[in-house]
Amino acid sequence: MQYHQPMRLLLVEDEIEIQGFLKRSLTEAGYQVDVAGDAKAGQRLATENQHDIFIIDLGLPDEDGITLILRLRQLGVDAPVLILSARRAVDDRVRGLEQGGDDYLTKPFAMAELLARLRNLLRRKASAPAEATRLRVLDLELDLLRREASRSGETLTLTPQEFVLLEYLCRNAGRVVTRSMILDQVWGMRIQPDTNVVDVHIYRLRGKVDAEGRRPLIRTLRGVGYVLRDR
Amino acid sequence: MSSGTAKTTMRSAAWRISLWATLAFACGTMVVFVFLHRFVSQDIQRRSDAWLSGEVEVLGDVAERTPKNALYGRVVGEVAELASREVPNRLRSEPGQNDSVFFLQTAADGSLALWVGDGNGAAYLDAIRHSAPVANSPADLRVRAIAIPFRIASASVGDGSRIYLGLSERDELRLLRNLRFRFILLWAAIVVFGAALVFYTTRRMLGHVRGITEAASRIGESDLSSRVPTSRRNDEIAQLASTLNTMLDRIENSVYQLHTITDSLAHDLRSPLTAVRAKLEMALTGGPKADEAESLVTAIEELDRVTDFLNKSLDVAEAKADALRLHRVAIDLDQLLRAMVDLYEPSMSERGLRIQLRSANRVEIWADPGLLHRMIANLFDNELKHLPPSSTIAIALRAEHGTAMLLLEDDGPGFAPEIAAHIFERRVKGPKSNGHGLGLAFVEAVVRAHGGSIEAANRLEGGARLLLALPLFAGPRDEPSTSMALAAHSRPSADALVSASQP
């Protein structure tokens, strides 16, 4: 995390095990984490301190998470919220919040995905910098305008789809991306195929990017996802 | 009104009802009038007959008593003339018409003895001679060259001569004609007015019914919270509406119960799954030994499969109860299929399968993007898992008659015959399948929830064939979630995908 000062995050989650795990993982990821076990404590912490982002579970013991979010908004707290939900259907009010710039994640989730969504929310909040036209990761270079990729100056022959996939990996270089994140962000689908469709795409891409003799850039983290090496 | 509207009107129940009601009313009143007419004409005849009989008696008396001298003709003629002035309902004769009354006396030999009336009476005498022998009661008499028949009464005088008194039926006929004419006018007016009234009221009444039907079908396809319109009156239609509403209350309640159950089931299972997954991930990031890592990874994968299975089972359960919650947007099925084929093509060719997509243009449907994506992924997963290498999958998409037709064919082994009839039921799977048997049940559930239909069969030339029909998008409808789902769909990466798949 290349932030000048750590991002301050408020986690409102009542289940102790998930709370502990999230706090540990978020702290490891460089966030300064405050924790509340119910809506009341959450509201108190949120109004006493300035937070950059919230993670709020919908099923809180004393109150609905949505009600808490709406009240925080009324109190002028406008940091983005990542909503955690163990419910099945996404409530219309959640859709409303999603439209308002917040995001939601269904339980159970992969930590990598949660971190990616937090980054997205923070990036959305900060005024987006002028879009780069070139991406560079080590010796891999992507020309976003001409949709061309090269490694060590050697042009890679990629299909348009492979280019989009590589672009997504590059934008998240050094960070783990899960299969469902790839499906969501590259193909625009929130699906969970019971087949290895994403793996085959990565396998093909790897065949082109990490051709024999080169240092492999795309790593598979089994059970988690993929990561594009940036060191 | 265009001819189309006229046609719809003529096909409507209101039109049929008012047509039949008018017909029945018109026939009924006509029958009543016929009876009335007969009664009136008989009554008029009875009156004129009574007058004729009375007068002819008086005249016979006079003729008998008056001496047969030169004055006889004048006396009797005078009396007859006087009598004719007393004719009931008498109208003035118009020029060129015979008078309404005549008096005629025949001598004993049958020759004309005395005549009071128009002309010389020869034609009348001729008619009398040719008519049937006149009894004492009045009878009809037709005189040559005179259109309107007479009613005549006769009496014999002592000296063998006979007197006849005739009364034209002209006035009677005119009266009846007037009656008929007025009746027909009035009758036509009443029938037209009645028809209009019946048509208007039935149309209004059936309009309520149509309103209820429309509202009910709207409720069926979108939400269960609205109700059909009710009216304040307590008639049959209001009862129909309130019965429907009671039924909807019950349905909404059971759907709500089902949602509560599935939601709490999902919640109660997901929370521990989240905790377990978190622990596994923590263990995995803690740098375990190689063999430990392998089991941790397997555990996470298994857990994700359980989660997916849970979601799918609950979706199928809700869909079987027609209780899937849909957040619809307009989706171009053509573009979606292309993206799906892009996604699955590498895995398919890896397994030696070929996939062909035949689709020409935009085919927009009104669907829940999440469910639709998962449904198509299910279809593709199904093919991927069950087809032997070097099979071909042919997908054809076309729009016809307001329906998007999606045809999936393969040249694999087809559905196992023992399951072919129950292919869309839960837990039904082929003998060699290692899935949950939920895939096609889920597909069918989603199709049904979107108002479509699905058919599965084995092709004659071998292989399986699935035909999905989904209603085409027919313009935006008022649903609150639309814009949000659209917003969710237009993320930058999705745009990148569009530009990537259409270079």
Contacts of B493 in chain A (CB under 8 A): 164, 168, 184-186, 188
Q: Is residue A147 part of a domain?
A: yes
Q: Is residue A146 part of a domain?
A: yes
Q: Give A53's strand partners.
A: A9
A34-38, A172-176, B44-48, B127-131: the lowest-pLDDT one: B127-131
Phi, psi at residue A103, to the nearest 5°? Answer: -135, 165
Please name the residues between 199 and 218 in chain A that touch chain B, using a CB distance below 8 Å: 200-201, 203-204
Contacts of A89 in chain B (CB under 8 A): 259, 263, 325
Closest B-chain CA to A201:
B346
A96 plus A144 within the same structural domain? no
pLDDT category of residue B133 using cuts at 50, 70 and 90:
low
CATH number of the domain where residue A37 is located: 3.40.50.2300
Contact B278 A111 (CB under 8 A): yes
Q: Is residue A94 part of a domain?
A: yes
Which of A73, A106, A125 finishes a domain?
A125
Average pLDDT of the segment spanning B344-358 = 92
Rg over alpha carbons for chain B, rounded to the nearest Å, is 48
Supply the pLDDT for residue A1. 45
Q: Is residue A79 part of a domain?
A: yes
A31 plus A118 within the same structural domain? yes
Contact A188 B480 (CB under 8 A): no
Order of strands, sheet of A8-12, starting from the edge strand that comes earlier in the sequence: A32-36, A8-12, A53-57, A81-85, A103-106
Q: Is residue A90 pLDDT above 80, yes or no?
A: no
Closest A-chain CA to B498:
A187
Candidates B275, B305, B501; nearest CB to A18: B275
A101 plus A205 within the same structural domain? no
Top mean pLDDT of A86-90, A148-152, B279-283, B298-302 is at A148-152
Distance separating alpha carbons of residues B243 and B76, to the nearest angstrom: 88
- Nearest Cα neighbor of B206 from B242, B248, B236, B234 is B236
Q: Residue B206 CB: number of other CB atoms within 10 A? A: 17
CA of B256 vs chain A CAs: smallest distance (Å): 13
pLDDT category of residue B35 using cuts at 50, 70 and 90:
very high
The answer to whether the CB of B52 falls within 8 A of the CB of B165 is yes
Q: How far is CA B437 from the centre of its chain?
A: 43
Supply the pLDDT for residue B132. 61
The answer to whether the CB of A7 falls within 8 A of the CB of A53 is yes
Supply the pLDDT for residue A218. 93
Supply the pLDDT for residue B434. 54
Token pair belonging to B317 = 């359960």
Distance separating alpha carbons of residues B310 and B275, to the nearest angstrom: 16
Q: Is residue B164 pLDDT above 90, yes or no?
A: no
CA of B297 vs chain A CAs: smallest distance (Å): 4
| SS3 assignment, position A149 | strand
Write out the residue range of the structural domain in which residue A105 sits: 8-125
Which of A80, A100, A125 finishes a domain?
A125
Token pair belonging to B143 = 């005189």
Average pLDDT of the segment spanning B153-170 = 81
Tell me the CATH number of domain B326-501, given options 3.30.70.1380, 3.30.565.10, 2.40.128.110, 1.20.1370.10: 3.30.565.10
A105 plus A189 within the same structural domain? no
Strands of B222-367, DSSP E: 329-332, 354-359, 364-367
Q: Give B358's strand partners.
A: B396
DSSP string, B433-476: --S-S-HHHHHHHHHHHTT-EEEEEE-TTSSEEEEEEEEBP-S-
Number of domains in chain A: 2
Q: What is the pLDDT of residues B366-394, one digit of tens each?
A: 998 888 998 999 899 888 888 899 999 99
Closest B-chain CA to A181:
B493
Q: Which CATH class is domain B13-175?
A: alpha beta
Distance separating alpha carbons of residues B192 and B204, to the nearest angstrom: 18
Q: Is residue B498 pLDDT above 50, yes or no?
A: no
Supply the pLDDT for residue B352. 92
Distance separating alpha carbons of residues A102 and A84, to the nearest angstrom: 11
Distance separating alpha carbons of residues B440 and B462, to the nearest angstrom: 19
Supply the pLDDT for residue B479. 45
pLDDT category of residue B214 using cuts at 50, 70 and 90:
confident
- Is the pLDDT higher at A197 or at B262? A197
Q: Is residue B437 pLDDT above 90, yes or no?
A: no
- Nearest Cα neighbor of B488 from B401, B343, B388, B373 is B373
The answer to whether the CB of B201 falls within 8 A of the CB of B16 is no
| SS3 assignment, position B233 | coil
The answer to whether the CB of A45 falls within 8 A of the CB of A34 is yes
Cβ-Cβ pairs closer than 8 A, A with B, add up to 162
Q: What is the ipTM of this complex?
A: 0.81
Supply the pLDDT for residue A129. 57
Supply the pLDDT for residue B480. 41
The answer to whether the CB of B262 falls within 8 A of the CB of B310 is no
Q: Is residue A96 part of a domain?
A: yes
Please, what is the average pLDDT of chain B? 80
Q: Is residue B343 pLDDT above 50, yes or no?
A: yes
Q: Is residue A2 part of a domain?
A: no
Supply the pLDDT for residue B500. 35
Q: Is residue A3 part of a domain?
A: no
Tell how strand B392-400 and strand B354-359 pair up: parallel
A139 plus A199 within the same structural domain? yes
Supply the pLDDT for residue B94. 52
Question: Vertex B194, ends B193 and B199: CA angle to 5°?
Answer: 100
Q: Is residue A87 part of a domain?
A: yes
A166 plus A84 within the same structural domain? no
Supply the pLDDT for residue A31. 93
- Is the previous residue joined to A108 through a cis bond, with omega within 30 degrees of 0? yes
Q: Is residue B482 pLDDT above 50, yes or no?
A: no
Strands of B279-375, DSSP E: 329-332, 354-359, 364-367
DSSP string, A61-104: SSSBHHHHHHHHHHTT----EEEEE--SSPPHHHHHHHHTT-EE
Average pLDDT of the segment spanning A48-59 = 91
